[in-house]
Structure 1
Amino acid sequence: MELAILMLTVGSAVVEIKCGSIYRLEEAYTIFLNGEERGTTQKVVTSLFNLSPDRDYLLQLAGEDGSIRGEISFHTKTETAVLNVRDFGASGEGEQDDTVFIQAAIMACPPEGRVVIPPGKYRVTSLFLKSNSNLELEEGAVLIYDGRPGRLPILPGLLSGKEENSFALGSWEGEAADMYAALFTGCGAENVNLYGKGEILGGASMEDWWSEENRQSSPHRPRMLFLTHCKHIRVQGLHFSMCPSWCIHPCFCSDLGIYDVEIINPEDSPNTDGINPESCEDVEIAGCHFSLGDDCIAIKSGKGRRAQENPVPGSHIQIRQCFMENGHGGVTIGSEISSGVHHVTVRDCCFRNTDRGLRIKTRRGRGKSCVVDAILFENIYMEQVDTPFVLNCFYFCEPDGRSDYVQTKEALPADERTPNMGELVFRHIYCTDCHIAAAFFYGLPEKKIKSVFMEDVRIRYAKDARPGLPAMMCGVEKMCRKGLFFRNVERLCLKGIDIRGQESEAIDAADVDVIIREVQE
């Protein structure tokens, strides 16, 4: 067993237990800190709380037989001051609006200080993060988002009159747009740790934020945590639920870590994505649990003229040891990716009961900077996933998405509007109880998918498999127990593919230039 420290603050740490397990350990381990028992864990990515600042610790994990299986030493960070929000006037009784009192504590916090929200219920609107600070929600602390329109600040989409010289602030689905401020908003913040065992309740329902009337209204729906142009941000341990729209949405951020976070929304809640990094680089997401109504994680990089003329790609994103269930997609790239996405690794994850597992979606019009390349998915288990692998270059969910230009399957001239799909690798992926298709890859005829490499992929179908559409595009009929479907690929390499129970051939490939195959049926 190997232990690694992923995150350290003045009062917490995140440890990754590397023993071959995915998300959950095969046995419970007892935690010892400096010889003192601190409970048990059965999670690969485990949070440690209630630590003292500026102190040496020896972490040891003991198995069920009492033997020490692994250990690691670490030193917590120093702090300059502790600010309790109760001392600033917050009641924590859930009745009064505690926003201004908590914000006062945040603004008064000296560099490297810690703002503590103790147990209680705190009704708030929008809080803004401050650089070089720690914000801790202790166990039993509940933030209740009072997100009624008229009480929330508005973040303008653009901060100047001339678009070419403007600063994008508010955002909606890849473009600058007015939006309500999140419960937590960070604008240009650096070196912030937001952590604890507390809860953040978005309070959304079908009667307000999720209603048909409010889904596309302007200003647009708020997030729970919105970060723009931020650096060196860490989020740990928090529980989010009932989010008005996307839960965690970082834009134009770098060096971002999100660990051991739980995001729970109803399965039928609209646009309640979990974590959507947009035009971000150096992102690590580990040990998180998602159960929601849309994509669990969606990697984006904007759309429209601003993104095409000044592209900021999403890059160097690591996702691992996460459990994703009940969403549209487990991990999605797109569809707003006009700036491109590259160097993404997703490994050691479990998907359950999602419509699609690993999903890439784009369309004509995203532009020549829309390059998706160096994508790796490996060591992933899926259960009850309708279609485990989807790449769709004809995504139709926009006002012009069903137009002939977007949807024609005839080759059009490749120009500055044409997206580009590069090299994609999928290996050591095991899927049970699939329904619609093992894989559905449909590239553009004028700009084919460059390379798809699949190795050691096992597919089994549900006995009661139900038919459905494999991708959101026009001209595709429902499928059921379909094998691997490929259209418009330059190079396709299939090694060690094991498919059992499909209704037709294991591989349905057309307009593929080169096929290397090793398939068991």
Structure 2
Amino acid sequence: MKTSILWINSRSVVIERIKAGKYKTKNKYQIYLNGAFLNESDKVVQSINQLTPNTFYSLEIKDGEKNEKIDFQTKQEYVTLDITEFGAKGDGIHDDTLCIQTAINCCPKNSRVYIPKGIYKITTLFLKSDLQIELEKDAILLADSDQSKYPILPGTIESYDEREDYNLGSWEGNPLPAYASIITGVNVSNVVISGEGTLDGGASFDNWWSYKREKGMPFRPRMLFLNHCNQIVVQGLTIKNSPSWTLHPYFSNDLKFIDLKIENPDHSPNTDGLDPESCKNVDIIGVYFSVGDDCIAVKSGKIYMGSKFKIPCENITIRNCYMEKGHGAVTIGSEMAGGVKNLLVKDCLFYDTDRGLRIKTRRGRGKDAILDQIIFEDIDMEEVKTPFVINSFYFCDPDGHTEYVRTKEVLPVDERTPVIKFLAFRNIKAYHCHFAALFLYGLPEKKIEKVELSNIEVTYAKHAQAGYPAMMEELNPVSKMGLYANNIKELILKDVVITGALQEPLQIINVDTYKKE
């Protein structure tokens, strides 16, 4: 076992205990800082906060088996701007938006905007480049529920020469007007939002979750929206009660989401945890999710955005995360017309989600909607209704129930046809499942190229529920279904054990090459 420094800045350091467990360590360990006991933890990814800038520290980890010592130095910091010195009240009553925004605007490089203990009522805060914001423990940024106070981000603004357009607002893969999010970044870089405090979107069924959007009105805000941003770190915070998607990086690169807690009620609508869309180099490490929709949903736009920009989501690492209550633990799509490639999910726990892996695509997403190098390794699931779903007939949106999308007949391959290349699932245990173990359904005219399943163990709940393994037409509810595989070029099974299926555990249909070891 080895402990490494995952991330460091002027006030915090994050450690990761390598091969110590999945999200939680097998045994608790003690943390000593400069010889003094700091705390005890059972998290694989652990933040250490309230440090002093430009200071040498000696960190010691004791777990009863082996002691480790790590020396490090925090980064420099020029000044700290305390928002209370800019007039912020922190009483949960006054609107502190302008005071905090003033501190942000005045913050020089290599400096910090500091938010001390208190409840700060806000609407939208806009980020700028070269900024660090820290929320102290028991500091809460509480979003106002009055929709009339929020600015609007237009979907597209036509350029003066009418050759291009400028995209600001977004909703579910299309450039559409939306309320500015609680924290909004547009074309900014080198930003850190960290600390032990809380971002509370203030959403409920009394406001945003029952919002009835009429034609021409903007869509709901996110908790954090990053539009064309680079080098962003979000670390340590609790983020809850988002009006819609919680964290939405959009056409952004080099992002880190570390040691966060994301909580939305399990019945709240569209409250995905984290939705990287057409982003590159994204690390999601040590994050706890409990949400009302997908925990993580990897996207790259609907057909307009995907075909116009052709920017996939790529180089995504999800590690040592805990996901529960969501529709899918890790979902790809359905808005992924630009494709998704090089996605690694490793050392994670999934509990009581509807699905573990959930791929949602369909005809019409386009030839650039290419999925490739999707890897899941070393994952434990429990009470997941269907652990693995690849659905090439996803039926949501107005065109989802058309004959073109729903038919299982072979259609011509053209510019509207999506592609699924290589997927691998290794060293995965899924206990107390309900609907089906694996449901893999490719297009008949463009089969999934290769699926590799290695060292997979699935069991079912004693009183398993019945339900639909995928959102597609012409399915009947199932319970304790085994592996269903249809329209795959090459399927490799090695040490796949499904215990307790009510029918034939392996249903292999229209598979060109099938290897079972």
TM-score for the superposition, normalised by structure 1: 0.97
Specify which of 110, 113, 116 is matched with residue 112 of structure 1.
110
1:21 aligns with 2:21: yes
Corresponding residue of 1:462: 461
Pair 1:143-2:141 in alignment: yes
Alpha-carbon offset, residue 107 of structure 1: 0.5
Alpha-carbon distance in structure 2 between the residues aligned to 1:501 and 1:310 = 47
8 Å contact kept, 1:362–1:394:
yes
C-alpha offsets along residues 313-361 of structure 1, whole Å, 9 cap, x if unaligned? 0000000100000010000010000000000000000000000001111
Q: Deviations over 1:13-38 (max 9, x none)?
A: 11101133111112221111221221
Q: Within 5 Å, give how 1:294-309 maps onto structure 2.
A: 294-309=293-308
CA root-mean-square deviation: 1.3
Aligned mates of 2:117, 2:214 — CA distance in 1: 33
**Cα gap change, 1:228/1:284 in structure 2, threshold over 3 Å: closer, same or farther?**
same
CA contact (8 A) 1:267 1:327 kept: yes
Q: Name the CA distance, whole Å, in 1 between partners of 2:66 and 2:137.
A: 28
CA contact (8 A) 1:441 1:486 kept: yes
Report the 3-state secondary structure (helix = DSSP H, G, I; strand = E; otherwise coil) of the residue aligned with 2:219: coil
Code of the aligned partner of 1:334: G
How far apart are the structure 1 equivalents of 2:163 and 2:14?
42
The question of whether the paired residues in 2 share the 8 Å contact of 1:236 and 1:258 is answered with: yes
Deviations 1:465-516 (A, max 9, x none): 0110000000111111000001100000000001110011111011110100
**Which of 147-156 and 333-342 deviates more?**
147-156
The question of whether the paired residues in 2 share the 8 Å contact of 1:189 and 1:230 is answered with yes
Deviation string 1:427-482 (CA, Å, 9 cap, x unpaired) is: 00001000000000111011000000000000000110011000000011111100
Question: Does the CA-based 8 Å contact 2:185-2:227 persist in structure 1?
Answer: yes
Q: Kindly indicate whether the alpha-carbon contact (under 8 Å) linking 1:209 and 1:215 is maintained by their aligned counterparts in 2.
A: no
> Could you say which residue in structure 1 is the equivalent of 2:124?
126
| In 2, Cα distance between equivalents of 1:217 and 1:200 | 29
Contact in 2 for aligned 1:22/1:350 (Cα 8 Å): yes
Could you tell me which residue of structure 2 aligns to residue 39 of structure 1?
39
Shift of residue 214, structure 1, vs aligned partner:
4.3
CA contact (8 A) 2:174 2:304 kept: no
What's the offset of the Cα at 1:241? Answer: 1.2
Gaps of 5+ in 1: none
Unpaired segments ≥5 residues, structure 2: none
Which residue identity lines up with residue 145 of structure 1 in the other structure?
A
SS of equivalent to 1:29:
strand
**Quick one: structure 1 residues 164 and 498, their matched pair in 2 at CA, closer, same or farther if it must change by over 3 Å?**
farther
Map 1:240-251 onto structure 2 (within 5 A): 240-251=239-250
Give CA deviations for 1:227-280 in whole Å, capped at 9, x if unaligned: 011111001011111111000000011110001111111111110000000000
Seen in structure 2, the aligned counterparts of structure 1 residues 235 and 464 have a Cα distance that, compared at 3 Å, is: same
Partner of 2:513: 514
Secondary structure of 2:404's counterpart equals helix
Structure 2 vs 1, CA of residues 79 and 289 (structure 1 numbering), >3 Å: closer, same or farther? same
Within 2, Cα distance between the matches of 1:294 and 1:500? 29
Alpha-carbon distance in 2 for matches of 1:401, 1:420: 18
1:58 and 1:392 map into 2 onto residues whose CA distance is 50
Match of 1:95 in 2: 93
Partner of 1:175: 174
Shift of 1:39: 1.2
Map of 1:80 onto structure 2: 78
Deviation at 1:68, TM superposition (A): 5.1
| Residue 494 of structure 2 corresponds to residue 495 of structure 1 | yes
Conserved in 2, the CA contact under 8 Å of 1:363 and 1:393? yes
Alignment partners' CA distance in 2, 1:354 and 1:166: 39
Q: Which residue in 2 is equivalent to 1:350?
A: 349
What is the 5 A alignment of 1:348-427?
Answer: 348-427=347-426
- Whether the 8 Å contact between 1:360 and 1:391 is mirrored in structure 2 is yes
**Following TM superposition, by how much is the alpha carbon of 1:216 offset from its aligned partner in structure 2, in angstroms?**
8.9
Give how far 1:163 is off: 7.6
CA contact (8 A) 1:421 1:449 kept: yes
Do the aligned residues in 2 keep the contact of 1:208 with 1:214 (CA within 8 Å)?
no
Write out aligned runs for 1:204-353 (5 A): 204-211=203-210, 213-214=212-213, 218-353=217-352
CA contact (8 A) 1:253 1:279 kept: yes
Distance 1:448 1:10 in 2: 51
Look up the equivalent residue of 2:45 and give its one-letter code. Answer: V
Name the TM-score, length of structure 2 as normaliser: 0.98
SS class of match (2:22): coil
- Partner residue, 1:59: 59
Identity of aligned residues (%): 47
Rounded to whole Å, the distance in 1 between the matches of 2:379 and 2:447 is 26
Contact preservation (8 Å) 1:215, 1:221? no
SS of the residue 1:159 aligns to: strand
Say if 2:20 and 2:26, in contact at 8 Å, map to a contact too: no
Which amino acid is 2:21 matched to?
S
Give secondary structure in 1 for the equivalent of 2:47. Answer: strand
